[in-house]
Amino acid sequence: VTEPDLIAACLRGDPRAQRQLYNQFAGLMLTVCRRYLKRQEDAEEALLLGFAKVFRALPTFRQEGSFEGWVRRIMVNEALMELRRREPLHLSFEDFAQPENLAATPATADTQLQADELLALLQTLPPGYRAVFNLYALEGYSHLEIAEALGISEGTSKSQLSKARAMLQRRLAPQPTSF
């Protein structure tokens, strides 16, 4: 079944097509949500609400761009909303100076890092840093778009990205071996 046919069947309310669409994107989108949210349950809640929005807004999809990109954008918005509900973003400003957030975590070589380890690393970031890093580095948003999405200034977005990277690099740095 091609993607337009699948979308058309979903628009007709075909339950099998809806299930197929869900199966096709649920795993990918759950990872997207987990990048933003620390707890698995919150990520699943965002996924659930995101899919509900996808099926509700399906008639508005104009089939001009990538359908996966359209779904991903909905999921990112839903994850950010869930993030605001669960982990207030303003905490990130205060949390940055906390020593425990700056502590390096032991890590293997970059190439050997698995997805779950990367997710675990992301989840150690304060919510604001995590959101900015995800939006900029993985979603490709500009700082202007990030500022609009999070309700912050562009300068704050740049600053938080820089600090998020610094924290990640520190945690990825190989631990000095002591003899």
Partner 1 sequence: MASGNNLDDLFRQQLGQHATPPGEDLQRRLAELAEAERLDQLFRTGLGSHASQPRRALWERLEDEHLRPPARRRRGVVAWWQLSAAAMLLLALLGCGLWRSGYLGPRPGLATTQPVSRPAVRAGVRGPGQPLASGQDQLLVKESIAVTLARHSKKNQENRTTRATAATFSPSSPPIATTARPRRSAPAPLAARRFHLQPQQPDAATGALATTGRRAPAGQPQPPTPAGTPEVPASRSLSTMTAMVAPAEIIEVDVRRGPAPPPRPPRW
What residue ranges bind partner 1 (CB under 8 A)? Answer: 15, 18-19, 22, 26-28, 30-31, 34-35, 44, 47-48, 51-52, 55-56, 110, 113-115, 118-119, 122, 133, 136-138, 165, 168-169, 172
Helix (H, G, I), strand (E, B) or coil at 49: helix
Nearer to partner 1 among residue 56 and residue 85 (C-beta): 56
Is-contact 50 78, C-beta < 8 A? yes
| CB of 107 vs partner 1, minimal distance in Å | 11
Burial class (CB in 10 A: 0-12, 13-18, 19+), 90: exposed
Which of 112, 113, 134 is closest to 123 using CA atoms?
A: 134
Measured distance CA(19)–CA(116) in Å, rounded:
26
Nearer to partner 1 among residue 16 and residue 90 (C-beta): 16
Residue 22 CA to its chain's centroid (Å): 18
| CB of 178 vs partner 1, minimal distance in Å | 25
Tokens matching residue 69 = 């990109």
Nearer to partner 1 among residue 40 and residue 153 (C-beta): 40
Tokens matching residue 25 = 């994107």
Burial class (CB in 10 A: 0-12, 13-18, 19+), 136: buried
Nearer to partner 1 among residue 15 and residue 99 (C-beta): 15
Longest dimension (CA), the chain: 68
Nearer to partner 1 among residue 27 and residue 174 (C-beta): 27
| CB of 26 vs partner 1, minimal distance in Å | 5
| CB of 19 vs partner 1, minimal distance in Å | 7
| CB of 179 vs partner 1, minimal distance in Å | 28
